[in-house]
Amino acid sequence: MENVLNNDMSLKKYYIIGLVPYIFIVIVFEIINFSFLNKIFFYLAYFWNFYLLIPNITTAINKKRYRFSFVKLIFFANEKIQTLNSKNNQYLESLLRSLSPFIFVLIFFLISNEGNMLFPLLGSLTFESIIKLQNRYQFLKKIP
């Protein structure tokens, strides 16, 4: 995986785009003091979508070494759900990408009967909004 992702500027930009807002979100969540489970639901949905859009990750994840990893499960679930997007609509793609972490968290919610199901939706929506804003305004265009 390291060979595929090594020295890739698009990867470095992607980490800046995804992780800098995440740090601010964590600080805000600590100030507001949401429950631990709600924070976990939000973070899981945020990073679920984050992993799906990492540049060149699909070539690395298909190696035998990652056959039984959780990240492989994320890609498998997304691949199956994305088959519903027959018209290649980018907004439907974002919506379907946000559906798989919601279903995953819903299973945890049904087992524990604790937490708020709004937080995985907010996590996915936050990440997708950050990506859409970056694609529209190119904040990191000047970084080499």
pLDDT tens per residue, range 42-96:
999 998 888 888 877 777 777 777 777 777 888 888 888 878 877 777 778 788 8
E strand or H helix at 138, and its extent? none
Distance CA 45, CA 104 (A): 9
Does position 4 have pLDDT exceeding 60, yes or no? Answer: no
Token pair listed for 15: 């980490």
In a domain, 144, yes or no: no
Residue 41 within a domain? yes
- What is the domain range of residue 119? 2-137
Q: What is the pLDDT of residue 142?
A: 54
* Biggest distance spanned by C-alpha atoms of the chain: 48
The number of domains in the chain is 1
DSSP secondary structure code for residue 64 in this structure: G
pLDDT by residue (tens digit) across 5-47? Answer: 455 777 788 888 888 889 999 999 989 988 898 899 999 999 8
For 73, how many CA atoms within 13 A lie in the half-sphere containing its CB? 7
Residue 143 covered by a domain: no
pLDDT for position 54: 80
